[in-house]
Amino acid sequence: MGKSTILFIFENAYLNNIFVEAASCVNASKLFCLQNFTVEKVKKNNLNILVTDNLSLTKMVNQDIKPDCIFLVNESNQASSNLKISSEVININIPFKMSDIYQRIENYLMQIDINSKRIIKYGNFTYDPSTRKLMNQSMFLRLTEKESQIFTCLMENTNLYITKKDLLNKVWSYGDGIDTHTLETHIYALRKKIESILNIKDLIMFEEKKGYYINKAIL
């Protein structure tokens, strides 16, 4: 795995100075280097991973900028669930140590490297679990974390029916308050995304007493 460039964008001057100083440490990480950036430049670049603060994140959401992963240095120490974000968000609360941030970024990059070897190709589709992107020849969509887990399970078992019970166990591990309605809601949303963006209807099917399956007849 080559060395990755991680962009950082901060409206908060104090946080920006911390990361500017960190970026000057050439040997901070063997897996990545840090580069200062601005929201205005983001749309001109293929943005994958960045480190940012709440205000910069809000600006990017308002401009419909969608990086694959955001390391959010969270000044309020509260989750960003009130923002509609399709990106994976990893919260970093204040106070923090730069060494901890380095470690979390390295762990994420290593996981991407592992997941990249699990790219699923089937029919006209390619699915990359590391970025949660489902693609055909001309379009792509990015799934949420739960949608990705559901879809990966189905795509890795295209010759099998997957019961609601098995999906609940694999995706939620029977977490508190999770029932079949939650699963059905996520699959409904997943079907709608695939139909509206990729123009594919009935890719995920359900058969009573057997479970969910991938409809290979349309691929």
Sign, Cα dihedral of 190, 6, 37, 81: positive
Q: Is 188 exposed, middle or buried (0-12, 13-18, 19+ CB in 10 A)?
A: exposed
Q: Is 73 found in the same domain as 24?
A: yes
pLDDT score recorded for residue 158: 84
**Whole-number Å distance between alpha carbons of 125 and 78:** 37
Q: Is the pLDDT of residue 157 over 80?
A: yes
The CATH number of whichever domain residue 13 belongs to comes to 3.40.50.2300
Model confidence at 200, in pLDDT bands (50, 70, 90)? confident
117 or 81, which is more confident = 117
> What is the DSSP annotation of 54-96?
HHHHHHHHHTT---SEEEEEETT-S--TTS---SEEEEEESS-
Q: Which of 67-81, 145-159, 205-219 has the lowest mean pLDDT?
A: 67-81
CA nearest to 187, candidates 211, 210, 209, 217? 211
Containing structural domain, residue 198: 120-218
The SS3 of residue 162 is strand
pLDDT score recorded for residue 208: 92
> What is the DSSP annotation of 182-205?
HHHHHHHHHHHHHHHHH---SSEE
Q: Is 110 found in the same domain as 170?
A: no
Domain boundary among 49, 83, 116: 116
Q: Is 124 found in the same domain as 76?
A: no
Domain boundary among 116, 137, 171: 116
Q: Is the pLDDT of residue 175 over 60?
A: no
The CATH number of whichever domain residue 187 belongs to comes to 1.10.10.10
Q: Is the pLDDT of residue 36 over 70?
A: yes
pLDDT score recorded for residue 177: 60
> What is the DSSP annotation of 101-156?
HHHHHHHHHHHHHHHHTT-EEETTEEEETTTTEEE-SS-EEE--HHHHHHHHHHHT
Q: What is the mean pLDDT of the chain?
A: 81
Q: Is 58 found in the same domain as 109?
A: yes
Residue 5: CB atoms within 10 Å: 11
Q: Is 148 found in the same domain as 208?
A: yes
Q: Which of 76-80, 128-132, 160-164, 169-173 has the lowest mean pLDDT?
A: 76-80
Domain boundary among 116, 151, 179: 116
What is the bridge-based pairing of β-strands 133-135 and 140-142?
antiparallel
**Whole-number Å distance between alpha carbons of 122 and 126:** 6
Q: Is 194 found in the same domain as 94?
A: no
Tokens of 171: 């995706």
Domain count across the chain: 2
Q: Is 130 found in the same domain as 68?
A: no
pLDDT score recorded for residue 50: 85
Q: Label residue 170 left, alpha or beta by phi (over 0 means left) and psi (-120 to 50 means alpha).
A: alpha
CB–CB of 138/199 below 8 Å?
no
pLDDT score recorded for residue 34: 82
Model pTM score:
0.55
Model confidence at 44, in pLDDT bands (50, 70, 90)? low
Q: Is the pLDDT of residue 48 over 90?
A: no
Q: Is 164 found in the same domain as 75?
A: no
Residues β-bridged to residue 195: none
pLDDT score recorded for residue 2: 62
